[in-house]
Amino acid sequence: MPGDFLRRRPQLTMEQFHAFRDERPKEEKWELIDGVPMMMPPPTVMHIRISRNLEMLLNAQLAAVKPEWQADRAVGVWLKGDEKYNPEPDVVVIDTAFLVGQIYVQRFYFVAEVLSESDKKAVLEAKLRYYQDHEHNRCVLFVRQDRMGAVQHDRQTGSRWRRRQLIKPGVALTFPDIGTIGRLGDLYRSTPLDPFAT
């Protein structure tokens, strides 16, 4: 069963995880996935550029069609009452309004992860289940950085989700409740994989 290896490892409560993380060097990035602390590798320049491009494309579209939502990078997600997950998606669409001093959000509408070579399949599957279980979330996007491509999961009705493989640079990036923000190739602008570079 996917994620079994996570459940076989020592489980931390959220309080234990935050105490552990707070003692680690600030440059380390940690997430709690299915009760297991996971150190994320430092982002590559490619990773940073793809995340920034996606954030910019989303915010341009959201300003026009849904100004009450905002795309941000590296915002932690912690749902009330959840003791097993505290991920930090690369890009997340959340409510524009937030509280002074707020660190985590409890409501999100879209999440994206830029994949690294070190990402384990079971961890990604656990994250996907977690993101899909959140009642307000409409879409999960996993974007490759080693080559052009993405996998998009869209909520259909209730708990039904549709999976789409995106490969061609010209394919439209269209998300539920947000609309079309550009093309897959636009995520790779100003990178070595930019299909539209002249």
- What is the secondary structure of 56-116 as a DSSP string? HHHHHHHHHH-TTEEEEES-EE--TT-SS-B---SEEEEES---TT--EES--SEEEEE--
Task: Tell me the whole-structure pTM to 2 decimals.
Answer: 0.88
Taking only the tens place, the pLDDT of each residue in 87-120 is 889 999 999 999 998 888 999 999 999 998 878 8
Q: Is residue 137 part of a domain?
A: yes
Per-residue pLDDT at 2 exceeds 70: no
Nearest Cα to 31, choosing from 99, 153, 131?
Answer: 131
Q: Is residue 8 part of a domain?
A: no
Most confident stretch, 26-40, 42-56, 66-80: 42-56
Neighbours of 196 (CB within 10 A): 11
Q: Is residue 157 part of a domain?
A: yes
Q: How confident is the model at residue 9 (pLDDT cuts 50, 70, 90)?
A: low
For residue 17, what are the contacts with CB-CB under 8 A and spacing of at least 6?
Answer: 30, 32, 37, 86
Q: Is residue 106 part of a domain?
A: yes
State in Å, rounded, how far the first CA of the chain is from the last one.
47
Q: How confident is the model at residue 27 (pLDDT cuts 50, 70, 90)?
A: confident
Report the largest interatomic distance among the alpha carbons of the chain, rounded to a whole angstrom. Answer: 51
Q: Is residue 33 part of a domain?
A: no
Residue type, position 111, single letter: V
Q: Is residue 65 part of a domain?
A: yes
Q: How confident is the model at residue 10 (pLDDT cuts 50, 70, 90)?
A: low
- What is the span of the domain harbouring residue 145? 44-188
Q: Is residue 6 part of a domain?
A: no
Domains contained in the chain, number: 1
**Can you tell me the distance from the alpha carbon of 17 to that of 22, in angstroms, rounded to the nearest whole number?**
8
69: domain CATH number?
Answer: 3.90.1570.10
Taking only the tens place, the pLDDT of each residue in 150-184 is 999 999 987 899 999 999 999 999 999 999 999 99
In DSSP terms, which residues pair with 185 in a beta bridge?
Answer: none
Q: Is residue 18 part of a domain?
A: no
